[in-house]
A and B are shown apart, each in its own frame.
Chain A
């Protein structure tokens, strides 16, 4: 999100928060979010994909809603209005190509109306057939989760993304030699997919309340949290949405403070640090150990201020419309151990993995009753961190980053266990405690900083070179 998009989002949120209440607020939030799905999507070299990918985000949301929520006349009117809003705005965007010389809401010219009609027809047929056949059936919920995971794997694996781009280019009679794996940058899909999987899994476990189509789609593509999260929970989000809310002076002030803080973090601190932060080019250019540490530290702070800045902006804007999005960061760089770091870094993502992978996986391992405790801890932590790494991209460096943290968490767990059994009173020593805390913070911070060397660079060979320079091994 750029400054223009943030400004428009703030004004929209202020208007909605001030002027509307109840169902009208939900409809306007849905309309704004649908428009944002298209507007925030950057241009892609594949023609009209900046329209098709957002349309697929909406279609997948509708599909999930059809599969998850029961049939019948339940709130039919609200659902129909929701459908009209979604289709209405998508249609208006397509029609705008004939009314304006430049695209107004998409980055490039939207597709022709005839192509859009074919898409609507196919999507409508698929949604109706699948929704009718599959409603509330376990296989359908599993099928949609599988589809979302396949899409994530294709988008996150450079080789698969490249093959998909080549396939699309071949169909469109475009030169395949210009295909790149970055051709399919689907804005917000990682977050959208995780929100949808959360809803599908919660439905499987029977712990999801009924949501209308407008409420559900607003939750999935809520415009402040579309590009960079956080990943809220559907039942919590909807509770806020259904609450009677009118924007007070206090709420405006609190929301405004978060937005200003976020803007400062992102556009002043993070963007300045980005000039000297570790990247592929600097990693090869910097030769001295001292400067290498400087650019690695700069990256550590840049990624924190960038990401937490966006989170502050999202939380602040959401607050103006009465939605209290969950926090994503809680001073992660001053935590005395790695477990606490991961409880305070990208918290909504780690909570998602804890709920839908770590806990069920651990329960399954405990059920086997043959595995030693230390082994279960090791496998559980390494597998979870590996998946968190893969969520960022299916490349060797993200795998190494995941392993780095998984093994780190395991080592810290064993060390804590060792200290607890051998020296049970060490934490109560008032002289030793501050030393241990400060030492823990420094050690944890540097462990995380070194992990960013994998995260920031594309090639593991380059990361290895950086490590050599950091420790003067060249």
Chain B
């Protein structure tokens, strides 16, 4: 009996938890933050899964440009500034700090807006403007 109760509880939790989830509104912002984190960690596989098909090649080029330097994010804060059709527009403040030979170079993130689209139910970075 306890086993069946356990199965019932599991099924109930499975159905209720996604319904309770509250962070889906921030999904485009989260997608960009995850993308930037994968970028500075130089995690090509994660970066690929966070980019739309069209942007995958550009994401790899962006990652390649950081291969020779150590990178970190400073003061990252992103927000959705609007939409353009099905595309969510996300602007980030803060910067990527690229260090080479002890010298820091700050790359301001606020100079571009990230375009985020939904592909197969997932929000993915799909370019900048």
Q: Report yes or no: A45 in contact with B44, Cβ–Cβ below 8 A.
A: yes
B56 touches A175 (CB 8 A): yes
Given A95-B17, A109-B122: A45 and B48 interface contact (C-beta under 8 Å): yes
Within the assembled complex, what's the spacing in Å between the Cα atoms of A44 and B119?
Answer: 18
Contact between A43 and B46 (Cβ–Cβ < 8 Å)?
A: yes
Residues of A within 8 A of B120 (CB): 47, 172-173
A254 to B79, CA, bound (A): 54
A112 to B49, CA, bound (A): 14
For the complex, give the distance between the alpha carbons of A115 and B122 in Å. Answer: 12
Q: A84-B7, A91-B14, A99-B21 are in contact. Are A175 and B57 (CB under 8 A)?
A: yes
Give CA–CA (A44, B50) in the complex, Å: 11
In-complex Cβ contact of A80 among B3, B37, B60 (8 A): B3
The answer to whether B6 touches A84 (Cβ under 8 A) is: yes
Is A431 positioned at the interface, with any CB of B under 8 Å from its CB?
Answer: no
Confirm or deny: A427 has a beta carbon within 8 angstroms of a beta carbon on chain B: no
Pairwise interchain contact B49-A81, C-beta atoms closer than 8 A: no
- B24 in the interface (beta carbon within 8 A): yes
Question: In the complex, what residues of A have CB within 8 A of residue B20's CB?
Answer: 98
The answer to whether A276 has its CB under 8 Å from any CB of chain B is no
In the complex, A102 has a CB within 8 A of chain B: yes
Interface of B is mostly: helix
**A70 CB–B CB distance under 8 Å:** no
Task: Confirm or deny: A178 has a beta carbon within 8 angstroms of a beta carbon on chain B.
Answer: yes
Whether A108 pairs with B21 at a CB distance below 8 angstroms is: no
Asked if residues B53 and A113 are in contact (CB atoms below 8 Å), the reply is no
Least CB distance, B117 to chain A, in whole angstroms? 12
* Candidates B18, B37, B49; contact of A95 at CB < 8 Å: B18
For residue B24, which residue of chain A has the nearest CB?
A98
Q: Kindly state whether residue B107 has any CB partner on chain A within 8 Å.
A: no
User: Are B34 and A44 within 8 A (Cβ)?
Assistant: no
Whether A108 contacts B18 by the Cβ 8 Å rule is no
A113 lies within 8 A of B44 (CB)? no
Which residues A42-82 have CB closer than 8 A to chain B? 42-48, 77, 80-81
Are the CB atoms of B34 and A102 closer together than 8 Å? yes
The answer, yes or no, to whether B43 is at the interface (CB within 8 Å) is yes
Chain B hits for A107, CB < 8 A: 45-46
Contact residues on B (Cβ < 8 Å of other chain), bracket: 20 to 34
Q: Does B23 contact A (CB under 8 A)?
A: yes
Task: Determine the chain B residues whose CB is within 8 A of the CB of A81 once the complex forms.
Answer: 3, 6
**A45 to B38 alpha-carbon distance, docked (Å):** 12
User: 1/0 per position for B108-129, CB-CB distance to A under 8 A?
Assistant: 0000000000011110000000
- Chain A residue nearest to B16 (CB atoms) is A95
**Closest chain B CB from A90 CB (angstroms):** 10
Q: How many residues of A contact B (CB 8 A)?
A: 32
With A47-B122, A80-B3, A98-B17 already in contact, the answer to whether A109 and B45 are too (CB < 8 A) is: no
Query: Is there a chain B Cβ closer than 8 Å to A2's Cβ?
Result: no
Q: Does B70 contact A (CB under 8 A)?
A: no
Roughly how many angstroms separate A50 CA and B104 CA in the complex, as a whole number?
Answer: 35
Confirm or deny: B95 has a beta carbon within 8 angstroms of a beta carbon on chain A.
no
Are A101 and B30 closer than 8 Å at their CB atoms? yes
> Is there a chain B Cβ closer than 8 Å to A360's Cβ?
no
**CB-CB contacts below 8 Å: B15-72 with A:** 17-18, 20-21, 23-24, 30, 33-34, 37, 43-46, 48-50, 53-54, 56-57, 60
Determine whether the beta carbon of A77 is less than 8 Å from that of B3: yes
Identify the interface centre among A46, A77, A88: most chain B CB within 10 Å of its CB.
A88
A174-B53 in contact (CB<8A): yes
Q: Give the residues in chain B near A47, CB-CB below 8 Å.
A: 48-49, 120, 122
A49 to B17 CA separation, bound complex (whole angstroms) = 23
Q: A87 an interface residue at 8 Å Cβ cutoff?
A: yes
Neighbour of B10 across the interface among A43, A77, A88, A102, CB < 8 A: A88
Using Cβ atoms and an 8 Å threshold, which residues of chain A touch B45?
A: 42-45, 107-108
CA distance A157 to B120 in the complex (A): 30
Q: How far is the CB of B21 from chain A (nearest CB, A)?
A: 3
B88 to chain A, nearest CB (A): 16
CB of A84 within 8 A of CB of B10, answer yes
Given contacts A44-B45, A175-B57, A178-B60, contact A113 B24 (CB under 8 A): no
A51 CB → nearest B CB, Å: 11
Interface centre among B30, B45, B46, B119 (most CB of A within 10 A): B45
Note all chain B residues with C-beta closer than 8 A to A112.
121-122
A46 partner residues in chain B, CB cutoff 8 A:
49
**Highest count of chain B CB atoms <10 Å: which of A87, A102, A108:** A108
Asked if residues A173 and B17 are in contact (CB atoms below 8 Å), the reply is no
A42 CA / B57 CA spacing, docked (Å): 21
Give 18 new A-B contacts, CB below 8 A, not counting A108-B45, A112-B121: A43-B43, A43-B46, A45-B45, A47-B48, A84-B3, A84-B7, A87-B10, A91-B13, A95-B17, A98-B20, A101-B30, A102-B34, A102-B37, A113-B14, A114-B121, A172-B53, A173-B120, A178-B60
Instruction: Give the interface of B toward A (CB within 8 A).
Output: 3, 6-7, 10, 13-14, 17-18, 20-21, 23-24, 30, 33-34, 37, 43-46, 48-50, 53-54, 56-57, 60, 119-122
The 8 A-B pairs with the shortest beta carbon distances in the complex, nearest first, are A98-B21, A43-B45, A45-B48, A47-B49, A95-B17, A174-B53, A108-B49, A45-B45
* A residues whose Cβ falls under 8 Å from a Cβ of B: 42-48, 77, 80-81, 84, 87-88, 91, 95, 98-99, 101-102, 107-109, 112-115, 172-175, 177-178
